[in-house]
Amino acid sequence: MSDLRSVKITNFSNDLSDQIKDAGFKEIDGCIQCGTCTGGCPSGRRTALSTRSIIRKVQLGLDEVLYDRDLWYCSTCYTCLERCPRKLPITDIIIQLRNLAVQKGNMHPTHVSLSHHLYNTGHGVPIDNEKWENLREYHDLSAKPPTVHSHPEAIKELQILLESSKFDELVGIEIEESEEKYEKEINYVPKRVSNTQQS
C-alpha cells in the first residue's frame, strides 16, 4: 500500500508576487480562480499543467512554483489569455516565472537541450532532413530556408549575441565544443539548388 501524505507547504514569501508585479503584471491579483484558463488549456489536456494552480501559487507567494515541473508544460499558445474573463496575461506571467526559475538554477532538461541546440545550430527545430527539403522545393522554395541553414556563418554572430547576454553560462554551454561545431557548420555547402535560385 502506498504511503499517501499531504505535502506541508512551509515556504511563503511576498518576494515572488512582488517580482511578478514589478515585471508589470499587477493585474495578477484580479484572478478570480474561475478555472477557465485550465479548462481551455491545450497542454493541460495532455499533461498535468494547471495554469489556475500556478497563478494561485503566485498569488499566495509560494516559491515552490519556481520548482514545479508543470511550469514548463505551457506551450505559450495564449489560449488562456483569449478566454480569461479578466484578460489576465497568464502566458506572459508563466514566461516570467520561467525566467525567475532559471535565475534560481531550475530549468527543465528539455529546455536546456533545446537551448544548446539553438546555440550550436541557430535553430530550435532545424530542417535537416531530405523530406522537408523536397517539400520546400516542391513549392518552388530553396531547399534550405534563408536562415543559418543557408548562411551558417551567421551562427557565429548568434553565438556572440548569446554570449554577451551570458546565455551560454545560464544553460551550461561549453564554448570549446561550440567552436568545433561552428567550424563544421561554416563549411556547409547546400546539396541542391532549387529552380528559384537558378533563375
Q: Which residues does the chain have with pLDDT short of 50?
A: 1-2, 4, 177-179, 181-199
**CB-based contacts of 78: which residues, under 8 Å, 6+ apart?**
91
Confidence (pLDDT) at 136: 87
Same domain (yes/no): 85, 133: no
Same domain (yes/no): 122, 81: no
Confidence (pLDDT) at 196: 44
Same domain (yes/no): 126, 82: no
Confidence (pLDDT) at 80: 94
Confidence (pLDDT) at 42: 94
Same domain (yes/no): 116, 89: no
Q: Confirm if 198 and 142 have CB atoms less than 8 A apart.
A: no
Boundary (domain end) residue, out of 103, 126, 149:
103
Same domain (yes/no): 78, 45: yes
Q: Confirm if 119 and 178 have CB atoms less than 8 A apart.
A: yes
Q: What is the pTM of this model?
A: 0.67
Q: What's the number of domains the chain is made of?
A: 2
Confidence (pLDDT) at 83: 95
Grid coordinates representing 119 are 546555440
- Give the 3-state secondary structure of residue 108: coil
Q: Is residue 4 part of a domain?
A: no
36, 171, 190 from 107: Cα distances, Å: 27, 8, 35
